[in-house]
Amino acid sequence: MTRIALTLAALCMAAPLHAQDAAKGENGFKKCRACHSIQTDAGDFIVKGGRTGPNLYGLAGRQAGTAEDFNYGDDMVAAGEKGLTWDAETFAAYTADPREFLKEYLDDSGAKSKMAFKLKSGAEDIFAYIESVSN
């Protein structure tokens, strides 16, 4: 079984989807805003953050590597083209170790991610928060 499959299985057992807490995720997003904003399509900021990473508004269900006005790395674009879309499980697995996630997902030991930060916990809650403010 691949590392991604094991990670996803562990996440599903450890944190069922109904356990996601958007209020905790709002607090946890503070770790993310150094690089990411949440800005509506109309240009209003929900969270004004850095521009090193893509805007996370509308992340849920979005194909990886496709947010407008962001220059993604080739491997993230390739992952999206291969079918990667963002949900709580893929977000948690990716943010735990972005580079390893892409290596496994693409079956490419040379795959890289522009995101170097590893989120040790709270990814499901952060995803729930992003999803709650993107509606």
**How far is Cα 70 from Cα 100, in angstroms, rounded to an integer?**
22
> Alpha-carbon distance 131 to 88, whole Å?
9
Does an H or E element contain 45, and which?
strand 45-47
Two structure tokens written together for 61: 């269900």
Q: What pLDDT is attached to residue 16?
A: 47
pLDDT in tens, the chain (135 residues): 566 654 544 554 444 444 589 999 999 999 999 999 999 999 999 999 999 999 999 999 999 999 999 999 999 999 999 999 999 999 999 999 999 999 999 999 999 999 999 999 999 999 999 999 998
Q: Token match 């992952």: residue?
A: 79
Per residue in 4-27, pLDDT (tens digit) is 654 544 554 444 444 589 999 999
Q: Alpha helices, DSSP H only, in the chain?
A: 3-14, 22-28, 74-81, 88-96, 98-106, 123-133
Which pLDDT score, from 0 to 100, does residue 135 have?
81
Answer yes or no: are the C-beta atoms of 24 and 121 closer than 8 Å: no
Written as one letter, the residue type at 26 is E
pLDDT at res. 1? 53
User: What domains can be seen in the chain, in order of their start residue?
Assistant: 20-133 (1.10.760.10)
CA proximity to 121, closest of 99, 104, 97: 97
Furthest-apart CA atoms within the chain: distance in Å:
43
pLDDT in the model for residue 3:
63
pTM above 0.75, yes or no: yes
Which pair of structure tokens corresponds to residue 37?
């904003």
